[in-house]
A and B are shown apart, each in its own frame.
Chain A
Amino acid sequence: MLGALLYLRLTSLRNLLRMRLLRLKQPKYLVGAIVGAAYFWFFFLRRAFIPPAHSPSMAHGMSPELQTLPMMFLALPLVILGLKRVIEAWLAPWPSPRRRWPFFFPPR
């Protein structure tokens, strides 16, 4: 039984990843993946891999505020997308499958 469940989980995960990778052939998903990868690199991974003393921006004396600019630029589309979703959900007629959070959007 454990073997069957492992097969289910691992095979599903492999197929899921394969589907996600195949989807990158479409430009909109490719752009999304590049933006997402850049976001993770600037916010999380860069600090882990490059010590602050060796960071090129610090070497040129760039202030921390200026350093956050590219991060903000990358995060902006995500914020806009999130706001768009919330507004769409609010404007959608009731009941609607687009309203995933009925608790936050009671019937008017």
Chain B
Amino acid sequence: MIEVTGLAKRYGTFTAVKDLSFAVRPGEVLGLVGPNGAGKTTTLRCLAGIIPASAGTARIAGHDIATDPVAAKRTLAFFPDEPRLFDYLTVRQHLAFVARIYGVTHHEPLAQSLLEELEIADKADELPGALSRGMKQKLAIACGLLHSPSVMFFDEPLTGLDPLGIRRMKDSILARARAGATIVLSSHLLHLLEEVCSHVLILKQGEKIADGTLADVSARFANGEANVSLEEIFIRATGGTES
């Protein structure tokens, strides 16, 4: 469960996120969409405890990320768009390191199943320098999933993945949501969000324009038309501009 109330993030006089409130329940997948610079990544980083919010509260699985960050971070995983890996740890050693950090005992079977699920088991003894961009992304995802988080934040998770990798990632996200995980997903691939997300939140210039189920948001901006795509909804909601 994610509960966000009055979240704001300011950098000096610039306000990146303004008075943002929403909730995501277990089993739901929330798609965070908005033009470039709308505050999507800033919001995700605040929720994951990477940067402190200027105002408001965010509770992750019942733990306030500001006042009880360790308990909150035990339950969450943040997947950035650019994987950051250690140059001199192999794929398997990355997972062993993450297991030690999160206190995952007997992690080997789980690590092996994750590597097989993400199709990088044959690269288990390679260093990151020998991996492609997509494989590095898969390794970062495997590291994030190792401690079985109940809350997941994906920031453009499909960057660098091939079509088959995208399909598998999509299935993996849906499977984890069905198993009860709470997921927030930021992406510009609107057709993907349409397939994966149960809810959507549209941001523009740091402010919430709309949120709710896909059907609710579609109905609000469809103007009585049937079968309006999320792309069309997005363009109508944001006015087709970044400003």
Residues of A within 8 A of B (CB): 1, 3-4, 7-8, 11-13, 15-16, 19
Question: Which size class do B's interface residues fall under?
Answer: 10 to 19
Would you call B97 and A8 a contact (CB within 8 A)?
Answer: yes
Interface of A (DSSP majority class)? helix
Determine whether the beta carbon of A7 is less than 8 Å from that of B90. no
Q: B231 CB to closest chain A CB, in angstroms?
A: 37
- Is the Cβ of B89 less than 8 Å from the Cβ of A11? yes
Residues of A within 8 A of B87 (CB): 12
Inter-chain contacts of B88 with A (CB < 8 A): 11-13, 15-16, 19
Can you list 19 A-B contacts with CB-CB less than 8 angstroms, sorted by A residue number? Answer: A1-B101, A3-B100, A4-B100, A4-B101, A7-B96, A8-B89, A11-B89, A11-B93, A11-B97, A12-B86, A12-B87, A15-B88, A15-B89, A15-B90, A15-B93, A15-B127, A16-B88, A19-B88, A19-B127
Q: Which residues of chain B are within 8 angstroms of A3 by Cβ–Cβ distance?
A: 100
In the bound complex, how far is the Cα of B127 from the Cα of A19, in angstroms? 10
Chain A residues with Cβ under 8 A from B101's Cβ?
A: 1, 4
CB distance from A98 to the nearest CB of B (A): 20
> Most chain-A Cβ atoms within 10 A of its Cβ — which of B88, B93, B97, B100?
B88
- Inter-chain pairs besides A8-B86, A19-B88, 18 sampled, C-beta below 8 Å: A1-B101, A3-B100, A4-B97, A4-B100, A4-B101, A7-B96, A7-B100, A8-B97, A11-B88, A11-B89, A12-B87, A12-B88, A12-B89, A13-B88, A15-B89, A15-B90, A15-B93, A15-B127
